[in-house]
Amino acid sequence: LFRSICQSTSLPVTVDIERGYADSLDQLTENIKNLISCGVVGLNIEDSNKKGENLESIEHQCEKIQLIRQVADNLGIPLVINARTDVFLMKSYEDNRLSESIRRGQQYKHAGADCFYPILCSNDELKEINLAVDLPVNVLAQQDTHSVSELERLNIARLSLGPALLRSALMKMRETVRSLKQGTSFDSFINENTITSKEILAIIKP
């Protein structure tokens, strides 16, 4: 799948490998080699544990990041490592989540990360993290997230949409089906703004 995606576009391809899909560093090494062989040039790796109930120790997560960087360097690929922290997802860090996030961001940089992703942090926390962590910062678009222009003003380097595009498409599909069930006209989804088959083919096969 990754190979097919990489071969179908001239854009750099980055993938989300969650926790690495590996129970050992040896398996992680093989996974990274396989991804790079497919043409992947960037990845997200998160620091929650296998059960998603707590975080990996900083030491272990740094070891994984260091390994990924070493594998990529050995293969001569300037792989972009986007180190995601799940501090803001964990109730156990509610009292110190900002300081813990900053601490992890700083350590992940030293381990070889290129970008830091404090997922689900607030706008105020995002500002503090961006000032304290010497890495480009990635933010996930949420309902109350700053606008793109404001994020640019704050020098936020990367914006992720997560499942937002899929959800938007599904919402439109739901509206269409409800419209059909109500017996109304097709104007809401078949009109001059409807994407044509030619346009779709141009996107799929540029």
Every domain of the chain and the residues it spans:
2-162, 163-206
Q: How many CB atoms lie within 10 A of CB 138?
A: 19
What is the pLDDT at residue 182?
Answer: 87
DSSP 8-state secondary structure symbol assigned to residue 91:
G
**Pick from 89, 110, 111: which is nearest to 100 by CA?**
89
Q: Is the pLDDT of residue 195 over 70?
A: yes
2-162 has which CATH code? 3.20.20.60
Per-chain mean pLDDT for the chain: 93
- Starting at the edge strand found earlier in the chain, the sheet holding 42-46 runs 14-16, 42-46, 80-85, 115-118
Q: Is the pLDDT of residue 146 over 90?
A: yes
pLDDT band for position 206 (50/70/90)?
low
Q: What is the pTM of this model?
A: 0.88
Task: Read off the pLDDT of residues 25-72 as tens digits, 9 standing for 90 and up.
Answer: 999 999 999 999 999 999 999 999 877 679 999 999 999 999 999 999
